[in-house]
Amino acid sequence: MKVVQIVRKPNGLGFSLEQVFEDIRKELPADIDVETYVNPYFSRGIWPRFAGMIRVMWHQGNVNHITGDVHFMSIFLSRRKTILTIHDCATLERLSGWKYWMFRFFWYWLPAKRAAAITVISESAKRELLKHLGKGNWPIIIIPDFVSPEFKFSRKSFDSTCPVILQVGTTENKNIERVAVALRGLCCKLVIIGKLTSKQYVALEENEIFFENHYGISRKSVIDHYRKCDLVMFASLYEGFGLPILEGQAIGRPVITSNCYSMPEVGGEGAYYVDPYDEESIRNAVNSIFESKSLVEKLVEAGLKNVRQYKISVIAAKYAELYRYIHRVDEKASK
Predicted local confidence at residue 262, as pLDDT:
93
Please tell me the distance from the alpha carbon of residue 253 to that of residue 230, in angstroms, as a whole number: 6
Indicate whether 68 pLDDT > 70: yes
For the whole model, what pTM was predicted?
A: 0.81
Q: How confident is the model at residue 334 (pLDDT cuts 50, 70, 90)?
A: confident
Q: What percent of the chain has pLDDT over 70?
A: 98
Indicate whether 270 pLDDT > 90: yes
Environment class of 129 (CB within 10 Å of its CB; exposed 0-12, middle 13-18, buried 19+) = buried
pLDDT digits (tens, 9 = 90+) for 285-306: 999 999 999 999 999 999 999 9
Q: What percent of the chain has pLDDT over 90?
A: 87
pLDDT digits (tens, 9 = 90+) for 7-62: 998 765 554 667 788 889 999 999 999 999 999 999 889 999 999 999 999 999 99
Cβ(39)–Cβ(56) under 8 Å? yes
Environment class of 218 (CB within 10 Å of its CB; exposed 0-12, middle 13-18, buried 19+) = exposed
The alpha-carbon radius of gyration of the chain (Å, integer) is 21
Indicate whether 215 pLDDT > 70: yes
pLDDT digits (tens, 9 = 90+) for 77-119: 999 999 999 998 988 888 999 999 999 999 999 999 999 999 9
Q: How far is CA 20 from CA 14, 64, 287, 311, 312, in A?
A: 12, 17, 33, 12, 9
